[in-house]
Amino acid sequence: MRRVITYGTFDLLHYGHINLLKRAKALGDYLIVALSTDEFNLKEKDKVCYFSYEKRKQLLEAIRYVDLVIPEENWEQKSSDVKEYHVDTFVIGDDWEGKFDFLKEYCDVVYLPRTPEISTTQIKEELNKKELNS
Ligand code: C2G
């Protein structure tokens, strides 16, 4: 069984996230998503999520491509995760191109093209604009 892992915040879940998860699952048989915790988002990624970790986890677990959701609590856990979960492939969007090549020591590393013209930030900005214009 080929095991794949990916990491992210997945706030305001959208089709760009789904496209990533679908392609990630296609690289193996079992997909683990390491989901950034609220604390990690706040302290390390400067992200304030609309949905809490529990709600974001609930949404991800409802996706047919996702087999397991674990917490992402720090930048350093990836290599131990890969070993602990016997991961064959690490995958993430190409906005991270090259950033996780150190994992090639433990598993395949794949950067997938991002889905254009959609992001959580863009959704928030457009909602704010609509509110201002209403
Ligand atoms: N993504 C995508 N296309 C988009 C938006 C996002 O393919 N239009 C991908 C990202 O490249 C990432 C995943 O969806 O692989 C989750 O995106 P984010 O929640 O923004 O994750 P990020 O903040 O990049 O967290 O340690 C790694 C980080 O936790 C990654």
pLDDT tens for 48-76 read 999 999 999 999 999 999 999 999 999 99
How is the beta sheet containing 89-93 ordered, strand by strand? Answer: 68-72, 30-36, 3-8, 89-93, 108-112
Q: Count the Cβ atoms, other than its own, within 10 Å of residue 108.
A: 15
Using most ligand atoms within 8 A of CB, pick from 4, 6, 7 the residue to mutate for ligand 1. Answer: 7
For ligand 1, atom 7, which residue shows the shortest CA distance? 114
Given this model, what pLDDT does residue 116 score? 97
The pLDDT value given to residue 112: 98
Is pTM, for the whole model, over 0.75?
A: yes
| Average confidence (pLDDT) over 99-108 | 98
Q: What are phi and psi of 100, to 5 degrees?
A: -120, 25
Rg (CA), the chain: 15
- By annotation, the residues acting in catalysis are 45, 47
